[in-house]
Structure 1
Amino acid sequence: MAAIKSDLEVGTNMNAYGVEKRPATLESGEEESIEAKYKPLWFRVLNWGVEEGGIEPVPVGKRTDTRYVNLFTVWFTALLCLLPIVTGMAGTLSYGLSLRDASLVIIFFTLLTTIPPAFMGTLGPKTGLRQMIQARYAFGLYAIAIPLLLNAASVTGFCVIASIVSGQSLSAISSDSLSWNVGIAITCICALTLSFSGYKILHLYERWSWIPVLVAIVITVGCGGNKLSLQAETTPAEASTILNYGCLIAGFMIPFAGIVSDVSVYISPEGPRWKIFTYVYTGMAAPSILLLVLGAAIGGAVPKVPAWSAAYAKNSVGGVLAAMLTPAGGFGKFVVVILALSVVGNIAISMYSISLNIQMFHPLLTRVPRSIFSVITTAVLIPVSIQAAKSFFDSLENFLGIISYWSASFVAIMITEFIWFRKSDYCTYDHKIWNVGGKLPWGVAAITAGICSFGLVIPSMAEVWYTGPIAKTTGDIGFEVAFVLSALLYVPARTLEIRLQGRRL
C-alpha cells in the first residue's frame, strides 16, 4: 500500500512503459487479465497446454523474459531455411544478373531494408503490444482492417512459397513416389504443431533447430560447391534491372515489420533499445544475406550444370538441392529432408501471427482460442500452395514485388507516428484504450496517406504484368516512393486529425 500511496502523492499512476500501475499482484504477473479470467470452460479445454494469451496487451509484470538472445535465435532460425535460397536464385535465373551483381544488390538492399522491421521489433518489449495492435494507435480500431488484410495476405504468401519449396524437395528424393502436393501437406502440418502451441514452444524450437539446418547447408555446399563456379554468361546489368531485383529483396525483408513484435511481447522492457534492435537486425540480416547469395550462386550455375538443369526442370528448386547432394548417396537424401523441413520454423511463426491477425478483426473473435485459427489457416494454406506451385517463380516474383509497396507505406506511417507524434515515448501507447474505438485515432490520416502515396507508386512500379511510365526509365522504385511519400503525407494528415479529434493523440 505504501508504494501505491507514493504514486498517488506524486500525481502519476503510469510506469515508464505506458502501463497503468496496479497492485503488486498484477505487477508480479499473478493476476489474470480480465478477458482471461472470464474465459469459458470450453475455451480453456481447447487451449489446454498451449498459450492462452491472445491479442490483449501484456502487462509489465508478465514481460519477464530476460533472454534477449531469443530475439536473435527466433529470426536466425526462421530465416536459416530454403526461403532465402529461392529468392536468391531469382536474381540470376529470372533477372539475368551475374553472381557478382546479384550479390552486391542482395547485400546492400538486405542491410537497408532490414532496418524497418528491426526498429519495429524494439516496440514489442517496450509496449507489450502485438504488432498490429500497435498499429491501432495510428490506424484506429476500424481502419486497421485494411492493413490487417494486407498483412495476413503477405504472411500467407510467404507460407505458400516456403511450403512449395519444401514439398518440391521432399518429392525430389522420393523418386516421384511422393508428389509435391503431399510434400506441401506434410510441411504445413508440421508447422501447425508449433503454431498451435504458441509463444513459448515457438521460442524453444527456434532456439535450437537452426543447428541441424546449418550443418545440412554446409554439407550441401560441400557436396555441390565445386560446380558453383560454373556461372552462366550474362550481359552487363542495367540500373533498372538492379532496382527491380532490389525491390524483390525489399519485398522479402520489409514485410517482417508487420509481425516482428508478435514474438517479443513477453521480453522484459528493461533491456536497452540498441540491444533489442541489434539482436533482431542481426538475426534477420545474417542468415538472409548468406543464403540469398548462396541461392544466387546456385541459380547462376543451373544452366551450366546439365544434372542440375534437368533436376530443376523436373522438381524446381528442390530438385536442384537433391542433385547437389547426389555424391552423398542415401545420406544426401536425409540431408535434403532436413533442408526441406527447415522452413517449418518460418511457417510456424507466420501461422502464429496470422491467427493473431484474425482475432483482431472483431472483438467476438477473441473468444475463440487462437490455436483454432492456426488450424483454419493450415486448411486454407495447403490448397493455395498446391495451386501456386504450378507457376512457382512467377508466383514468387509477383508476390514479393507487390507486397514491398504496401509494406513500405505501412512502416513509414508507423515509424512517423512513433517518432514524430509520440516523440519516441512508449507511455503514449496506453493499454486502457487498445480496444476502445472512441479513444483511438480515427485512422483516416493513416489510410489517406497510404492510399494517396500510390498515386506515385503505381507509375514507379515494374512487375511482370505492368510497368509504370516512371519505372520504364528508372526501374522499380515503388517501395522507395511508398516509404518517403507516405511519411510526408502522414505528417499533415495526422496533425489535422489530432486537431479535429480535440486531443493530443
Structure 2
Amino acid sequence: MAPSSFEEAQTMVTDEEKAVTSAGSAEQDVRVAEIHGLLRGAGNGLLSKLMSFQNVESRGIQPIPVDERTNTRTYTIFTLWFTMSLNPLPIVTGMTGTLSYGLSLRATSLVILFFSILCTLPVGYLATLGPRTGMRQMIQARYSFGYYLVSVPVILNLATLTGFCIIDSVIGGQTLSAVSGGHLTPTVGIVIIALVAMFICFFGIKVLHQYERFAWIPALIAIVVATGCGGKHLHEQVAVEAPAAATVLSFGALVAGFLLPWGALSSDFATYMHPHTPSWKVFAYTYGGLFIPSVPLMVLGAAIGGAVINVPSWSQGNDENSAGGVLAAMLQPAGGFGKFLVVLLSFSILGNISATMYSITLNFQLLIPWLVRVPRSLFAIIITAIVIPISIRAAASFFDNLDNFIGVIGYWASAFVAVVIVEHALFRRADCSTYEASIWCDARSLPSGVAALAAAACSFALVIPSMAEVWYTGPIALHTGDIGFELAFVLTALLYVPFRYLEIKLQGRR
C-alpha cells in the first residue's frame, strides 16, 4: 500500500539503512569539526565564521542519509536546470553553427532540435537515481568504475566542468565589459562574475536551489527584450550553400558535447529529494529544465550568428567582446534600460557557473579520498582561484577555444553515460537498492572497474578516427563528419556487457 503521508513514507526505510547512512553522516560531522578547529587555530576567523553559518552545506560526497532526504519540492529540480540553461551560453553555442560551421539557419535549427531531443535523455534518466540512492553521480559511478579507477572519469569530469566555468566567466565578463563601453575591461568583468559565483557555491545546495528558483526571471526578461530590440535584423542571414552531411554531423557532435556532459553530474542536484519522489517527475523536470530553454536559445544564437556579419553594430560588438558585445549591440536601441538588461544578462550566467562549481567541489573529494576530510565549501575558493586566470587567457580567442573544448568533451561523456546506464538497467535491473550505501568507500566490496574502463578505452579505437576537430580530423570523419560521440556510446555499451559479465565471474560478486 502506498504511504498516506510524507512521515509514513519515511518509516518505510529499513533501520539498517538508516544506521549505515547516519554513521557516515556522524563521521563527516566529526571531520568537519576537526577542520574548523584547525582553521580557528590558524587565525582564519572569517572563513571559520562563514563555514559555521547554518545554511552552509558541510556534507561532502558521502551518501545522503534517508532521514536527511526530506525535500519534497520536486519542481526545484526544474527551476535549477532552467536557470542553469537560461543565459547566454546556449546562445553562444548556437552562434557557432552559422558563424563557425557555415550552416544555414534552417539546417542549424534542425540539428539543434534533433540532437537535443536525443542527448538530453541520458541526463534526465541518470537524475532519477539521486533520490533513490542518495548518492552523487560520481559516487554512483564507483559501482561500475570501482573505487580507484573512477578517478579517470572524475579527472575528465573535473576538466569538463572547469572548462564550462571558464567559458561562463568569459561570457559574463565580456558582457559586463560591453555595457561599460570599454571602461570596465573583460578581465575585471571575469573576476567579478567568478567571485559572485563562488559566493553562491560556497553555501551549498540549499542556497543554490533558492537562488535558482528566482534567478531565471530577470534573465528571461532580458533575453526577450534583447530579441525584441534586435529581431528586425535576424532575417538578414548570410547566404550559404546547402550543407554537406559531414558538416551537419560535426555540428551535431558539438551540440552533444554541450548537453551530454551534464549526465556526469545530473543526480548531484536531486540527492536531497525524498526517496519516494516519483522517478517520472525527476526525469521530466530535469529533461524539461534543460531542453526547454536550451533549444530556443541555441536557435536564437544561430539566427544571430547568421546575421552578425550583415549588421555593422553587431559585427563591431562581436569583434570587441564576442557574444557579449553582440547582445549589448542588440539592446542598444533600449538606451539606459538596455544597458541595465545587459548587466542582468551578464549575471544570468551565475546560475550555470555556481551550479557547475558546486559539482566541482564534490569531485575534488572523489579524486583524492583523504580530501573527504576537507569541507566541500573550501574547494569553491580553490576552483575560483584556478578559473579566473585561465578565463582571462581564454578570452583572447574565445570562439576557437569554445569549439575546441565543447567538441572534445562529448566523446568521454558518451562513453561514461553508456557504462552507468548499462550497469543500472542491465546488471542492477534498475533496482536502486543494489547500490549498498555501506560499501560506497570500500574498495574490496566494489567492482574493480576494469570492465568499465576497458570498454570505454577500447571504444576509442574507432572514436579517434571518427573525430573531426579544428586541430584533428580522422580518416573516417573525412568522409562521414564527426561521429565520435555516437560510436563512443554504442561501442562502450556493447563492450561493457561481456567485460562486466567476466568481471563478475572473476570477482564472485556484482
1:67 paired residue number: 73
Distance 1:199 1:370 in 2: 11
1:122 aligns with 2:115: no
SS at match of 2:101: coil
1:48 paired residue number: 52
Distance 1:276 1:406 in 2: 25
2:16 paired residue number: 20
Q: How does 1:1-400 map to 2 (within 5 A)?
A: 20-22=16-18, 32-37=25-30, 39-43=32-36, 45=48, 47-49=51-53, 50-400=56-406
How many angstroms does 1:362 deviate by? 2.5
Q: Residue type matched to 2:347 in 1? A: L
SS at match of 2:353: helix
Match of 1:488 among 464, 488, 494: 494
Unpaired runs of 5+ residues, structure 1, are 1-14
SS at match of 1:370: coil
Q: Residue type matched to 2:430 in 1? A: S
1:7 paired residue number: none
Distance 1:42 1:337 in 2: 38
Q: Residue type matched to 1:48 in 2? A: S
How many angstroms does 1:91 deviate by? 0.5
SS at match of 2:367: coil
Q: Using a 3 Å threshold, how does the CA distance of structure 1 residues 19 and 81 change in structure 2: closer, same or farther? A: farther
1:421 aligns with 2:427: yes
Distance 2:421 2:70 in 1: 26
In the superposition, the TM-score normalised over structure 1's length comes to 0.94
Contact kept in structure 2, 1:19 and 1:430, CA below 8 Å: no
In the superposition, the TM-score normalised over structure 2's length comes to 0.93
Contact kept in structure 2, 1:19 and 1:60, CA below 8 Å: no
Q: Percent identity?
A: 54
Distance 1:19 1:447 in 2: 35
Contact kept in structure 2, 1:16 and 1:427, CA below 8 Å: no
Distance 2:439 2:24 in 1: 19
Q: Using a 3 Å threshold, how does the CA distance of structure 1 residues 495 and 200 change in structure 2: closer, same or farther? A: same
How many angstroms does 1:37 deviate by? 4.1
Unpaired runs of 5+ residues, structure 2, are 1-10, 38-47
Q: Using a 3 Å threshold, how does the CA distance of structure 1 residues 438 and 184 change in structure 2: closer, same or farther? A: same
Q: Using a 3 Å threshold, how does the CA distance of structure 1 residues 330 and 469 change in structure 2: closer, same or farther? A: same
**4+ residue segments displaced more than 2 Å:** 15-23, 29-35, 37-47
Contact kept in structure 2, 1:18 and 1:430, CA below 8 Å: no
Q: Using a 3 Å threshold, how does the CA distance of structure 1 residues 249 and 38 change in structure 2: closer, same or farther? A: closer
Contact kept in structure 1, 2:116 and 2:291, CA below 8 Å: yes
Distance 2:15 2:161 in 1: 30
Distance 2:247 2:13 in 1: 45
Distance 2:174 2:111 in 1: 27
Contact kept in structure 2, 1:17 and 1:127, CA below 8 Å: no
Q: Using a 3 Å threshold, how does the CA distance of structure 1 residues 17 and 348 change in structure 2: closer, same or farther? A: farther
